[in-house]
Amino acid sequence: MRNMRLMVQGAAVLALGVAASGCASIKDHRGYIIDEALVASVQPGVDNKLSVERTLGRPTFTSQFGRQTWYYVAQNTRQRPFNRPQTSDQSVIVVDFDARGNVSSMGRQGMEKVVRLSPESDKTPTLGRDRSFFQDLFGNIGAVGAIPGGAGGGAPTGTGPNGS
């Protein structure tokens, strides 16, 4: 009888341990593994694309437009039970190159660049003004060349991208 009782208690403790381990957070690292000594060895004005690639490896991604910039992205995520992973820490190493392919500057960015987007919500955060329906509807009246061929030749004279 006593052995049976000990076996039941042991099984209960084991089941409780297994159940409790399922409630633990999962921590994960994604992306570039930063070695501070290697990052510190890259010097603006001294290194070029080839030496940076040999030192730090291939970048996570590169700029497509404008200045030649390489980005090395590292993220630590945490996932609580029954939830989606959340970024707990992020580090982005930014390496800018000049026209000849030499390192012009290096920088580091962190969590200030992380934006949380919710695909289930009805709004996506954007830059710019928050305008009402009526401001969108009536806001451009009289703003774009109201008199064709009038003063100024009818050409738009505003500061917008199309002159409006």
CA distance 64 to 62: 6
Q: Tell me, what's the pLDDT at 54?
A: 93
In the predicted structure, residue 31 carries a pLDDT above the cut 90: no
**Which two structure tokens, joined as six digits, stand for 132?**
């009402």
pLDDT of residue 147 exceeding 90, the answer is: no
- Taking residues 18-25, report their average pLDDT: 66
Mean pLDDT is highest, among 30-44, 118-132, 141-155, for 30-44
Domains of the chain with bracketed CATH:
25-109 (3.30.1450)
Collapsing DSSP states into helix, strand and coil, what is residue 83? Answer: coil
Are 71 and 58 a contacting pair, CB within 8 Å? no
Q: pTM of the entire structure?
A: 0.58
Provide the token pair at 71. Answer: 């980005």
Q: What average pLDDT does the chain have?
A: 80
Residues in the chain: 164
Measured in Å, how far apart are the chain's first and last C-alpha atoms? 90
Once rounded to an integer, what is the mean pLDDT over residues 106-135? 77
